Chain A
């Protein structure tokens, strides 16, 4: 999974075609795109959409309201009852939040006779504390399927304008924490949806820092992000050559391929590229 497109949770018109644009997943949003006085009706709309509307088999997640808000528990309960199995939880930053959430999910899995891990969530880290705690939180978050970075809120917390220098550290830290526990990592949205050059540059940086995909706010962003996060021709050819070289009996331990050393980490990287290619072309 590379591209997750946010869809405002109180806009039926935007939901109707959302599955047709080619994103790997849709995030129906109850948080920032919904005004406080519309939270309940958005919750009902998303719940009914999940039950009745055909999203064309595209993966679905719902971003609920943050755990310090008035709405998150009702969001979670109604939506699990409606069949939602994957959530995005904003502004996560403490172990106690993780424990509360894990308890609810464990309880719901038992109530609905689901397998352990059938319910899951993407943890959105968008405060300095959340970023600093990302590894510790990930270790406790048994239902977490991914870490996501929220750049806009992070910049607001830091009192700074969005700038690549400011974002490099939290992005690296989050991508590294996710890799450490073996889950996906999704970079923040690029808000200037008409600025495709800016998005391209931003997505390239995110990939180079180790993110496995990116969140999006506009259908025009999907193709760019899918292309950037997929291994390119040169990488695929290189990885295939590395793996093919293992067929030679003399190529054990560290050996040379076209003048470059190949050893265990290089083989691991080659396998990861091929595996990523396979995961995203099925």
Chain B
């Protein structure tokens, strides 16, 4: 996997019921790295949520790292949107 820049942004936290989402630009297609306290139970549904949210944001070339601490779906969506928005804004300004 080739990174297109060292720039990364994140949103959220590893506190209870929250999730820390970090995003980076990459040259290839979307890549998701999940680290969760309930990884086996929910990893597939979390990946679907991430893909769906990223599609709606019309993004693709991203490495998304997720450190989940039992966050509900709406929290994951919100943190992902915030991290991507911060990345877009930082790219625009640089």
Report which A residues bind B (CB closer than 8 A): 12-13, 16, 40-41, 43-45, 47-49, 51-53
Contacts of B77 in A (CB 8 A): 48, 52
B86 CB-CB contact with A under 8 Å: yes
Q: Tally chain B residues at the interface, Cβ within 8 Å.
A: 19
Residue of A nearest to B86 (CB): A40
Whether B82 contacts A12 by the Cβ 8 Å rule is no
A44 to B81, CA, bound (A): 7
Of the listed stretches B14-22, B25-33, B34-42, name the one at the interface; the rest are far from the partner chain: B14-22
Interchain Cβ contacts within 8 Å, total number: 46
**Given contacts A52-B77, A53-B72, are A44 and B85 in contact (CB under 8 A)?**
yes
A194 to B16, CA, bound (A): 24
Residue of A nearest to B89 (CB): A40
Would you give 8 A-B contacts (Cβ < 8 Å), ordered by A?
A: A12-B17, A13-B17, A40-B85, A40-B86, A45-B79, A48-B74, A51-B74, A52-B73
Return the CB mask of B35-74 against A: 1 if under 8 Å, else 0.
0000000000000000000000000000000000001111
Whether A41 contacts B82 by the Cβ 8 Å rule is yes
Whether A13 contacts B11 by the Cβ 8 Å rule is no
Whether A13 contacts B72 by the Cβ 8 Å rule is no
Report which B residues bind A (CB closer than 8 A): 11-12, 15-18, 71-75, 77-79, 81-83, 85-86
Whether B74 contacts A49 by the Cβ 8 Å rule is yes
Whether B72 contacts A44 by the Cβ 8 Å rule is no
B18, B72, B78 — which one has the most chain A CB atoms within 10 A of its CB? B78
Contacts of B16 in A (CB 8 A): 13
Whether A16 contacts B74 by the Cβ 8 Å rule is no
Smallest beta-carbon distance B12→chain A, Å = 7
Contacts of B83 in A (CB 8 A): 41
Whether B86 contacts A12 by the Cβ 8 Å rule is no
Partner of A49 from B11, B15, B78, B86 at Cβ < 8 Å: B78
Contacts of B81 in A (CB 8 A): 44, 48
Partner of A44 from B11, B17, B18, B71 at Cβ < 8 Å: B11
Smallest beta-carbon distance B19→chain A, Å = 8
Whether A45 contacts B75 by the Cβ 8 Å rule is yes
Whether B75 contacts A48 by the Cβ 8 Å rule is yes
Smallest beta-carbon distance B69→chain A, Å = 9
Whether A12 contacts B85 by the Cβ 8 Å rule is no
Contacts of A44 in B (CB 8 A): 11, 78-79, 81-82, 85
A47 to B75, CA, bound (A): 10
Smallest beta-carbon distance B46→chain A, Å = 15
A41 to B78, CA, bound (A): 7
Contacts of A49 in B (CB 8 A): 74, 78
A51 to B85, CA, bound (A): 18
Contacts of B78 in A (CB 8 A): 41, 44-45, 47-49
Residue of B nearest to A53 (CB): B74
A21 to B59, CA, bound (A): 40
Contacts of A13 in B (CB 8 A): 15-18
Residue of A nearest to B12 (CB): A41
Residue of B nearest to A50 (CB): B74
Whether B11 contacts A12 by the Cβ 8 Å rule is no
